[in-house]
Amino acid sequence: MSKGTIRNFLIGDAQADRMVPPSGFTARLTLFVSGAMAFLTVFALALSLASGRLADRWADELARSATLRISAPSGQLAAQTKVALTILEQTPGVASARALSVEEQAALLAPWFGLDLPLDDLPIPQLIEIIAADPGYDVRGLTLRLSTEVPGAVLDDHTRWREPLVAAANSLRRLGWISIGLLGGAMAAMITLAAQSSLAANAQVIEVLRLVGARDRYIAGAFVRRFTIRALIGAAVGVVIGMAGVLLMPAASDEGGFLTGLGFQGWGWLLPLLIPTLGGVVAFIATWLAARSTLRELA
């Protein structure tokens, strides 16, 4: 359809619209269904986008950082740490390697043991933070070399717990998109039913219109326009309420973790605006098909 046809369709043939008596029930049903579906779609969309972001971020950040833990008798700890740092500096693909200071290690342990833990008295392992370059380093090669030269070192590249998290975030994203598909399908089904009920209720009107020479296109158009506009309006209201709900959620924070990241970012805010349009398209197709099959059965 060209731009002009769409405009003409929406502005419509005011005369054709009056041919079909207004019906309170199917109008309210269509408005409500489109509104509810659009509302839910906003959240499904927010969920998909947020879990997508999370999956990407986890996969990216965790892949770049690793931790080397050195446990050794207190006499050898400093020496082993030095050797390890030297090895790391020589390893291609390691962007930086840094031994955590005593204060930093204390901060990491604080949530478990409190602040006044006498770290000096305990055999706390030394942690070294490794940031990988792009492309990264050869994990197996590094592990091998460390095991011979720094016996107390254990390399943890986070793969173990990264993979299930990324997989979970990805399947959450997939579930979000499946939900959006199902919401669209359910909306199409409901609008088909509403349109069929409206067509059946107006069988007499349709018959009279046919008798005075109306073409199917004219009659179907009156119904299709009506349902499409209702779906557009309902979906627009649903999207506004849904987006307000998303806006009111607390901003993303470290404490809230995943849950507070549930929202839109940047251009993502524009995506929900597509929902009413898609809702209108769904209603258009559903009503058109319903009208076509109903009209075929009449003389």
Partner 1 sequence: MIELDNVGYSYGGGELLSDVSVRLAPGSFHFLTGPSGSGKTTLMKLCYGALLPTSGTVRAFDADMRTRDRDEMAMMRRRIGVVHQDCRFLDHLPLADNIALPLMVSGHDMGQENANLRELMNWVGLSDRADALPPELSGGERQRAALARALIMSPDVVLADEPTGNVDWEMSQRLLQLLLELNRMGKAVLIASHDLGLIRAAKAHVQARVLRISNRQLHLAGADL
Shortest distance (Å) from residue 51 CB to partner 1: 50
Shortest distance (Å) from residue 191 CB to partner 1: 23
Binder to partner 1 among 25, 215, 247, 257 (CB under 8 A)?
Answer: 215
Residues 235-274 as x/- pattern, contact with partner 1 by CB under 8 A: ----------------------------------------
Binder to partner 1 among 73, 213, 255, 267 (CB under 8 A)?
Answer: 213
Q: Which is nearer to partner 1, 16 or 252 (CB)?
A: 16
9 sits near partner 1 (criterion: CB under 8 A): no
210 sits near partner 1 (criterion: CB under 8 A): yes
75 sits near partner 1 (criterion: CB under 8 A): no
Shortest distance (Å) from residue 221 CB to partner 1: 11
Q: CA 250, 272, 277 angle in degrees (round to 5)?
A: 160
Binder to partner 1 among 107, 131, 133, 208 (CB under 8 A)?
Answer: 208
Shortest distance (Å) from residue 3 CB to partner 1: 21
Q: Which is nearer to partner 1, 248 or 299 (CB)?
A: 299
The region of 100-108, 119-127, 216-224, 248-256 touching partner 1 under the rule CB under 8 A is 216-224
Q: Which residues of the chain form contacts with partner 1 (CB under 8 A)?
A: 15-16, 18-19, 21, 205, 207-218, 295-296, 299
